[in-house]
Structure 1
């Protein structure tokens, strides 16, 4: 189990509860007793979904991803202890108390492992390409970046999973944003902005 002392967690860090639920830390403002999070995945022993996009496996274990408001209803009904009081809103929201954290997974550590490993599938090869065209081309250090989502947890799908990167530091974010704008403008490099509207995140 994670130390009960106050953990130094950042946005998009993952916390795993004693039941095996996988939460994602949301933002940087949290109550003293825990962290505001959203629930991303649950082992098949606790939750199953008919949504064909929800299935995940690391080859040994099966997980399902939550979509739309599934996580909210699931926690309220089955694990109400995974709610924390958010003072600015004056109500409870999804979150994990420090005492209930069994494991922490850090995006920057996962990215380091993936970069050091020999790319063995098309998603990891695409990740290398993205990093070379953005992070390295901007003259930034990989230490200021991380990967979250299914890549962080090791149960991504080589053909269908997203490459979810997080940037640490306002200055680094501005540099990457400028680099991406240049890549999007040059259509010949194979990069395009999927977030010109909200269609990619509908239902997530």
Structure 2
């Protein structure tokens, strides 16, 4: 098994599918959230087995529901993390039946596509490569297609791009591809309404977010998302190098000083001119978000307000969004 990366998938001995989250994993476990479980009936099917989707949408409190489900039914997948000082879902390596690499699956789609959707993913990747010059080896596919659980009638295409430079090339050219249509009109309105509901945004904020989101759209009428993911060389730090200690909720106003690492998940924003509005009055150096909606939205020089979990990291402080401990988390333009 290669170095675990964000949005890899794994299958457990019970036949459940987990999606790997982030890059910080204990030596004997993989940090991941439950995505699909075997079911009597369901929209998804592989072979003769039906599956239900355990995560209805991507939000920290949806993940909280899956942790509660696991604690009740499969407690060996919920552990206290002594490095992050939180309880979370983690799969012991000894319980992994199969590990799924997005880049391996993308290669399979090029060499032997099995249906129309798989052919479309390969065509999408080919257009990206033709326009940007990046090689096939830095592209992958995640989600239901990765684990062969997709349905060509309704499944989306979730594409991985490995590496910051490769991701920037895709970002700068994606909208120029011949068969790509950006979110607009009723589809854009659907996106705005969804974010307003799930993330408690007002309409102005949701519209600003929609205008910045480059990595969603339609390819030949099929919805797609593109997700920048770190290469091995871009993964910094090892599990246990530092510890993350919660210091309670905090609300800050600040100016974005550096957004160059914000396209990955978790998104990282360095901040200046920080004013702590609520919470412990300490020097906060960065905002980190595990909520994908805040990835690659804010730019240098822009002023933001954010609420999340204040964390102490070896004597320094950061504000974290996407934790289970704080209600009404947000990051918005000021």
Answer yes or no: is 1:106 the counterpart of 2:101: yes
Structure 2: where are the runs of 5+ without partners?
Answer: 57-61, 200-334
CA distance in 1 between partners of 2:31 and 2:37 (Å): 17
TM-score, length of structure 2 as denominator length: 0.50
Deviations 1:68-104 (A, max 9, x none): 4342232121011102333454121112112221211
TM-score, length of structure 1 as denominator length: 0.79
User: Counterpart in 2 of 1:64?
Assistant: 52
Query: Once the 2 structures are TM-superposed, how far is the Cα of residue 189 of structure 1 from its aligned partner?
Result: 4.3
User: Counterpart in 1 of 2:38?
Assistant: 43
CA distance in 1 between partners of 2:114 and 2:12 (Å): 30
User: Counterpart in 2 of 1:135?
Assistant: 129
Match of 1:32 among 27, 33, 36: 27
User: Counterpart in 2 of 1:51?
Assistant: none
Query: Once the 2 structures are TM-superposed, how far is the Cα of residue 106 of structure 1 from its aligned partner?
Result: 1.1
Structure 1: where are the runs of 5+ without partners?
Answer: 1-5, 49-53
Deviations 1:18-60 (A, max 9, x none): 1111111111112233111011111126xx6xxxxx5201242
User: Counterpart in 2 of 1:19?
Assistant: 14
CA contact (8 A) 2:17 2:34 kept: yes
- Return the structure number with greater strand share: 2
Helix, strand or coil at the partner of 2:132: coil
Answer yes or no: is 1:191 the counterpart of 2:220: no
Answer yes or no: is 1:148 the counterpart of 2:136: no
Q: Which has the larger radius of gyration?
A: 2
Match of 2:174 among 161, 174, 180: 180
Task: Name the Cα RMSD after superposition.
Answer: 2.7
CA distance in 1 between partners of 2:104 and 2:55 (Å): 26
- Structure scoring higher RCO (CA < 8 A, sep ≥ 6) equals 1
Answer yes or no: is 1:166 the counterpart of 2:154: no
